Structure 1
Amino acid sequence: MDLHFVNLLDHTPHDCTAAATTSSEIMEVTSEAFCAGDYDLSVEIYSSQQADVRHPDRGLSLLKADALSRAGRIAEAVDWYFTAANLERLQANELGTLVDCIAHSLRIKECTNSTVVSEDEQSLDLFSCRLCKCLLTDPVTLECGHTFCKRCIEDDAIKECEICGCKLIKTYGQIKPIGFRVNVVLRSLLDKWFCAESKARRCWLEGERMRSERDFINALEKYNKAVEIAPYMPPLLGRRAELHMAMNNFRQAIEDLDAVCRLKPLSPEAHHAKALALNKAGQKGEALRMYLYCVALKPDWGSVKLEAQAMLSDMFSSVFQRDVRPKLLIFQHRTGSHLKPASLLLGYLHSNPGRQSQTPNGRKYVLSNTGAENKPPCEDSATLASVLAGLSSPTGLKRRTSEKFRGSAPFNKHLKIDEVRSSQMPAACCNERREVPSQLLDTSDLECSLCMRLFYDPVTTPCGHTFCLKCLERCLDHNPICPLCKDNIAEYRTTRGCHKTLLMEEVLQHYLSEELAERSTVHKEEMTELSNLTKEVPIFICTVAFPTITCPLHIFEPCYRLMIRRSVETGTKRFGMCIADSVKGFADYGCMLEVKDMKFYPDGGSVVIAVGVSRFKVLSHGHRDGYSTAEIVLLEDQKVEGEELAELRRLHDSVYDQACAWFTSLKENIKNQIVHHFGQLPGKDPDMQWSPNGPAWCWWLLAVLPLEQRAQLSILAMTTLRDRLSATRRVLILVARKLQKPPSTAASASL
């Protein structure tokens, strides 16, 4: 204690001004000590100030009690809270410090090596619904790939996926009136892997339905049956406890909630539910104990903290409302920086009639014995003492999930948690993750019914059936119906809602990682083979395409749907275009196209916007999965230099000018049509040999000139720019002559 503080304590004021000045200085010192965490110094200052007052000061008593609480001297603090309550009823907001300190004490003692996570924040395992937090029951997979319980997703309040936010009304607008279909594969797997829990969950949901109809008796029977099947499910026990509360069966509700607290010892929500039940049952002391545990487990839970403060306020006040003045038997322990719940209070010395007692400030009083000869000690004071003293040995908080449950007796309707066999406790309880028993894991349960191989990129249709993505797409190329149930799923195909079923994918990765890796290797080998743009190029047999020229295609045949989809999936986005040949199937020359855009239609067809990339020559013809393929070699123009280059330049400029003149001479409507489909005539390139395919304007001109396909193909196959320009000039001369003829003659002329 510094000299200045000693002088302040020893100073006896001789006038009001000096007293006010000294009091102000002392309060400043006290405030500084309190803020610096020197609570013992604050206590000494408050004690000194109390010694100078003739009558008990309620404000000083509360300040001293708060300082004692902060210093870890809880027992002494409670004494001074009683003193303040004796003078005037304690308000709930005046007990915040006491509640905080007790909660901090519990948190230090019980939760140092534990992670306290709320039910809303805890990580759920693979098989839990993200809406109800329980085992998926009648799982429904949405178009976005996320899976929920059917009952949860049919709730009118659910308008979007809780994970990705996709709109359910928009996504399932066509099928919601007839209800969501259950994922057949997932339901069978969950029923097989978690048989007891799955059965219990269905009984539970039946009870929920009856409860919503206020048929409490039958609902309770369903809950009881579910608990008999799976007695280790905390949410089920919690719901049964809520039903008991609604039926005023408080004892049974407390039993269920006690079991929940044992199964989930670090759940503040479980302890809060138990506190509510105890409070309604009139067990105020135990209720207060649970409230304090809740604050210890979740310090930022403001509403529960206020409930604990209000209950403490009522208990402190009720002691004096009954005209009883108990004295705490205090064993003061200096605890340092940490609070010690075991030494908070050891008990009360309950006063006998006529016995003289003394308050903490030294004032004596005599208890009245009027009408109290046979009156027991004050229930509230004893309750408060036992609550605070007993906080060091909670019934549920210290119990850890790894503890084995004793006994082997079967379950009654009301759960006795200590009678549960350890073998009955699956990993699903106590916030642990569910794991599939290895003996129940069978790869045949996770095979596609179309390819008979392990699911790869599994997708689920609106009718609830699951297939490999590639398998389903190939089936839908031929018919817009489910391969198993034959339901029409044209709308699903139109929206291209082929998002992977994420739960199925996660199950495969977690439990069948080796098999999935092998399946992935096979798929990659197939994709590598398909992406080879020289050995096995897919060929679209249709028309003549040219480099740099846009080629819109309407895809409706199943074989070409598959071909275009594969070209996109491999990442090349390229395929060959050739005209038909009566002998070989398709011509020996063609143009490679690259997909730029695709638009799908309800009938399964699509419009593909592709652009010519390069020319090729076919070396061999082949087939794959219904469409033609070819081994090819790319064609490039031969380059020239010197005098040949100068001569080629003159020819190039001459033909370009001739093309401009021809295009200018066309009627406006014809020119507009050409521009709409092919764009404007490209300009001349500074270097006409920079591209292996030659100038772009030349290909644009060949695309719009009225030439037969065979004539176009012959020019496409040329590998010298000179030959191509010469052929183009001849075509322009021929077209110009046709335009000079009378309309009737020109119309009948064949090019």
Structure 2
Amino acid sequence: MDAGIQNHTEHYAHGLSNPSIAGLCAEMLGVADEACSAGDFELAVEIYSSLLAELQHTDRGLCLRKADALTRGGRVSEALDSYRIAANIQPLRPDELQVLVDVMSLTIRVKEQSDLKNSNLGNGCFESDELDEEKNLNLFSCRLCKCLLSEPTTLVCGHTFCKRCLEEDVVKECKSCCVKTTTLLKKFNVEGLRVNVIVSGLIDKWFHSESHARRCWLEGESLWKEDDLSSAIEKFNKADGIEPFICRLLARRAELHMEMKNFGQAIQDGDTICRLRPLWPKIVEWDRVEPARFPAHYIKATAFRSIGQSEDALREYLYCVALKADWITVKLDAQKILSDMFTSVFVNDGLDTSQQPLLAGSIPRVKPSSLLSSLHSPLSRDGDKAGSSKESSCSKFQDGSSTFFNRTENNVNSHGISCVSLALKRKWTEDPNDFQMPNKQHKRDEASSSKSLPTLSEERPVPLKLLDSADFECSLCMRLYYEPVTTPCGHTFCLKCLERCLDHNPNCPLCKENLCEYLATRAYNKTFLMEEVLQLYLSDELTERRKVHEEEIKELSNLNQEVPIFVCTMAFPTIPCPLHVFEPRYRLMIRRSMETGTKQFGMCIADELKGFADYGCMLEVRDVKFFPDGRSVVDTKGVARFKVVSHGQRDGYHTAKIEYLEDKKVEGDDLTELLKLHDSVYDQATGWFTSLKDDMKNQIISHFGQLPGKDLDPQANPNGPAWCWWLLAVLPLENRAQLTILAMNTLKDRLVAIHRVLIFVTRKRSR
């Protein structure tokens, strides 16, 4: 049951004017009220009728209670008799007609559902047209104003909107993931954003006519704000002439006509919108701060009311409530008109006592003119007989050969009228006569009315003859965009291409605008619109482009065939190796190691002849911290030793084909000798480290950590015990000497070398 109707069922506002009723029949009234609350309106009507029949003088409050019960029970035509009786006693107040308005509008909604089911368009699914509109938005529609993008501007989050929409305060109310609050807008620096060059060009190329109309429309909006209404309406008319049947354009023009007191023209535009979008409950505001966006039915209702056409105004108000049940202001307007109609017709005018027969059948929609004619039907002044049975005198709702308010028990269950969701995309089945203007001078010209109206689900197709893959080539790699990103200056590039350019220079590759702030935030989000267009219209080309990219990534992730080499310092297995990366080639190298998922690269010392040494250590990235200027600090740790098989280069940095090194294991007497040597050298290393000064020990510990413990099985790790590499890293040796020990493939040789080094440094310090 509708919330408003249920509220009236439980809480009556109609007082009893006859005190004797409350005193003598309080128990019966309580039963009737409970019956209404339980949805048994037939019982309530019988009780109210019985009480009225016992009275010598009709009680106004009791008549209103009976009228409400009849209305909720679907017997609206009979209910009008009771309302008229109450109106004769005292003019009806608007609030006393809330139930009547609720039921009339709800009946419209029920009829819409029935029409949709009968036309097989609904498939049993009814949603709001507003949600359906969101689903049917074209790729090139702004999610804020729902119109074709004008001066499309891409935020750093990757979403694209009209520049005008982003500049207006109305975006504060946007539910999009990226423009919720003013704080976020400041973060996006909307004022500094430029038009997306690629998207703007595509829109002008593919939708030239609509784009031209949109520009004229926006010029009209600007003139409107400057109060140049005559020039504004010219721009609106020009836009409509270029691209007719744009609902939002017609809605804005209708509002402008209302402001200019051109009510007939406003009704015409509203009429066209109703044909195009019959279930359009709301026009989303986009160009003004005040919430002045109304459905076409409301525009028509206001215009009809302004020129004194109360019947037509009531009809449109009822449509509004049917589309948007919680629109309180419109409900009150409808109640006010009904109140005035009852007052003017049944209080001030003479009443015709002739009765009209109830015609069979029904019409698609409520006809306010029929309602008005019904109010002129006879009114029984005998309160004890009025409405005492289903066959009693009642008003008739005529419309030619059919009626609207026939008995609506099909739409009523035992607990009242059930709520029905609004239907989607139904065909307009209204009789054309319902859309005649109140004055001949406002009739639509025949040429305009003969145009075919587009459907709600009509797409904005891209002309295939204008589709050219060359429009989607990155200006840096000259290939199809892959993961396109748009800079704040409005230029679009492949993500990888842009990153490589920013490694060398923090300026846009095309316009040279400084992108330091963009680089600092590293907000490289893909442009969703471009991604969708590529997938939709260039899917084959995009598939080929993706294959090329995946092959490149696969090649980069092969840590044997082409390993990236960082030429810098000595690195050892298990030992931390922090790096400060500032060269463009190494920025690219580190980024690729992260993108491939390997998070590894080789570290070698320089070699004057070959470029880098023949032996090195693989490093694994544990963490990367980026700085606003593009520099980074990379936290790495040694993983494994390798031997260089061949040297190479890729995109400016060194690469190598490698073979991993492992210590040769020994057994028997050789293993016994190795264990003795291992323990001896470890004790020697511990003694040397203990003999160091405290400040030196603290420096070593802060950088490399504590001396690792002695391994029970020194051959368990293919690279040997961790303490050996820790000691080799802290001993005062030149890189070449360290490299020699790193390249050894037996633990015995490495222990002997370390033993000699310890003897050397101990003697040197003692001197």
**Structure 1 pair 568–673 and aligned structure 2 pair: CA distance change class (3 A):** same
Equivalent position to 2:279, from 266, 271, 276: 266
Residue 148 of structure 1 aligns with which residue? 161
After superposition, give the CA deviation of every residue in 1:150-197 in whole Å (9 maximum; x if it has no partner).
1111235646985223677678669656x4210000001111222111
SS in 2 for 1:609: strand
Equivalent position to 1:26, from 25, 28, 34: 28
**Structure 1 pair 704–470 and aligned structure 2 pair: CA distance change class (3 A):** same
After superposition, give the CA deviation of every residue in 1:405-427 in whole Å (9 maximum; x if it has no partner).
x9xxxxxx99949745898766x
After superposition, give the CA deviation of every residue in 1:38-93 in whole Å (9 maximum; x if it has no partner).
32232222212211111111222122212211222111111111112222332333
Identical residues among aligned pairs (%)? 58
After superposition, give the CA deviation of every residue in 1:623-652 in whole Å (9 maximum; x if it has no partner).
222222111122223334555445444433
Residue 472 of structure 1 aligns with which residue? 498
Report deviation, 1:142: 0.9
Residue 149 of structure 2 aligns with which residue? 136
Report deviation, 1:682: 2.8
**Correspondence list, 1:137-286, <5 A:** 137-155=150-168, 158=171, 163-165=176-178, 179-268=192-281, 269-286=295-312
**Correspondence list, 1:520-669, <5 A:** 520-641=546-667, 644-669=670-695
SS in 1 for 2:254: helix
Report deviation, 1:503: 0.9
Please provide the CA RMSD for this pair.
3.8
Residue 348 of structure 1 aligns with which residue? 373
**Correspondence list, 1:425-464, <5 A:** 430=456, 432-464=458-490
Equivalent position to 2:344, from 302, 310, 318: 318
SS in 1 for 2:755: helix
Contact 2:153 2:195 in 1 (8 A): yes
Matches of 2:445 and 2:64 in 1, distance apart? 43
**Structure 1 pair 627–19 and aligned structure 2 pair: CA distance change class (3 A):** closer
Contact 2:397 2:403 in 1 (8 A): no
The reply to whether residue 497 of structure 1 matches residue 510 of structure 2 is no
Residue 65 of structure 2 aligns with which residue? 63
Report deviation, 1:280: 2.6
After superposition, give the CA deviation of every residue in 1:697-739 in whole Å (9 maximum; x if it has no partner).
2222211211111111111122232322222222222222222
Report deviation, 1:545: 0.9
**Correspondence list, 1:347-426, <5 A:** 348=373, 358-359=380-381, 361=383, 400=426, 416=444, 419-420=447-448
Report deviation, 1:668: 3.2
**Structure 1 pair 100–197 and aligned structure 2 pair: CA distance change class (3 A):** same
Contact 1:330 1:346 in 2 (8 A): no
Equivalent position to 1:105, from 100, 104, 107: 107
Instruction: Give 5+ residue unaligned stretches, structure 2.
Output: 1-19, 117-121, 282-294, 387-394, 407-422, 433-440
Of 117-126 and 185-194, the range deviating more from structure 2: 117-126
Matches of 1:450 and 1:296 in 2, distance apart? 56
SS in 1 for 2:636: strand
**Structure 1 pair 425–310 and aligned structure 2 pair: CA distance change class (3 A):** closer
Matches of 2:359 and 2:679 in 1, distance apart? 106
Residue 95 of structure 2 aligns with which residue? 93
**Structure 1 pair 581–96 and aligned structure 2 pair: CA distance change class (3 A):** same
Q: Given residue 380 of structure 2, which amino acid in structure 1 is its aligned partner?
A: Q
Matches of 1:442 and 1:383 in 2, distance apart? 65
Q: Given residue 146 of structure 1, which amino acid in structure 2 is its aligned partner?
A: H
Matches of 1:454 and 1:403 in 2, distance apart? 48
After superposition, give the CA deviation of every residue in 1:335-365 in whole Å (9 maximum; x if it has no partner).
99x999589967737879xxx963362689x
Residue 749 of structure 1 aligns with which residue? none
**Structure 1 pair 587–64 and aligned structure 2 pair: CA distance change class (3 A):** same
Contact 1:74 1:344 in 2 (8 A): no
Q: Given residue 622 of structure 1, which amino acid in structure 2 is its aligned partner?
A: G
Q: Given residue 478 of structure 1, which amino acid in structure 2 is its aligned partner?
A: H
Of 582-591 and 416-425, the range deviating more from structure 2: 416-425
Of 434-443 and 259-268, the range deviating more from structure 2: 434-443
The reply to whether residue 53 of structure 1 matches residue 55 of structure 2 is yes
Q: Given residue 223 of structure 1, which amino acid in structure 2 is its aligned partner?
A: F
Report deviation, 1:533: 0.9
Instruction: Give 5+ residue unaligned stretches, structure 1.
Output: 1-17, 365-381, 407-412, 742-751
Q: Given residue 59 of structure 1, which amino acid in structure 2 is its aligned partner?
A: G
TM-score, normalised to structure 1's length?
0.83
**Structure 1 pair 164–148 and aligned structure 2 pair: CA distance change class (3 A):** same
Q: Given residue 588 of structure 2, which amino acid in structure 1 is its aligned partner?
A: L
- Greater relative contact order (CA < 8 Å, ≥ 6 in sequence): 2
Matches of 1:346 and 1:403 in 2, distance apart? 20
**Correspondence list, 1:8-23, <5 A:** 23=25
Report deviation, 1:276: 2.4
Matches of 2:201 and 2:473 in 1, distance apart? 13
**Structure 1 pair 729–106 and aligned structure 2 pair: CA distance change class (3 A):** same
SS in 1 for 2:577: strand
SS in 2 for 1:613: strand
SS in 2 for 1:575: strand
SS in 2 for 1:550: coil
SS in 2 for 1:348: helix
Residue 417 of structure 2 aligns with which residue? none
Q: Given residue 337 of structure 2, which amino acid in structure 1 is its aligned partner?
A: M
Residue 748 of structure 2 aligns with which residue? 722
Q: Given residue 198 of structure 2, which amino acid in structure 1 is its aligned partner?
A: V
Q: Given residue 264 of structure 1, which amino acid in structure 2 is its aligned partner?
A: R
**Correspondence list, 1:285-324, <5 A:** 285-324=311-350
After superposition, give the CA deviation of every residue in 1:226-251 in whole Å (9 maximum; x if it has no partner).
11111111111111111111222222
Matches of 1:481 and 1:71 in 2, distance apart? 73
Q: Given residue 183 of structure 1, which amino acid in structure 2 is its aligned partner?
A: N
After superposition, give the CA deviation of every residue in 1:130-158 in whole Å (9 maximum; x if it has no partner).
22221110011111111111111123564
Matches of 2:495 and 2:576 in 1, distance apart? 30
Report deviation, 1:522: 1.7
Matches of 1:415 and 1:683 in 2, distance apart? 97
**Structure 1 pair 635–182 and aligned structure 2 pair: CA distance change class (3 A):** same
Matches of 1:414 and 1:570 in 2, distance apart? 68
After superposition, give the CA deviation of every residue in 1:555-613 in whole Å (9 maximum; x if it has no partner).
22222222222111111111111112222222111111122222333443322222211
Matches of 1:256 and 1:200 in 2, distance apart? 17
Matches of 2:21 and 2:215 in 1, distance apart? 76
Residue 707 of structure 1 aligns with which residue? 733
**Structure 1 pair 686–314 and aligned structure 2 pair: CA distance change class (3 A):** farther
Residue 128 of structure 2 aligns with which residue? 117
**Structure 1 pair 468–195 and aligned structure 2 pair: CA distance change class (3 A):** same
Report deviation, 1:677: 2.4
**Structure 1 pair 557–81 and aligned structure 2 pair: CA distance change class (3 A):** same
Matches of 2:260 and 2:185 in 1, distance apart? 41
Matches of 1:327 and 1:596 in 2, distance apart? 94
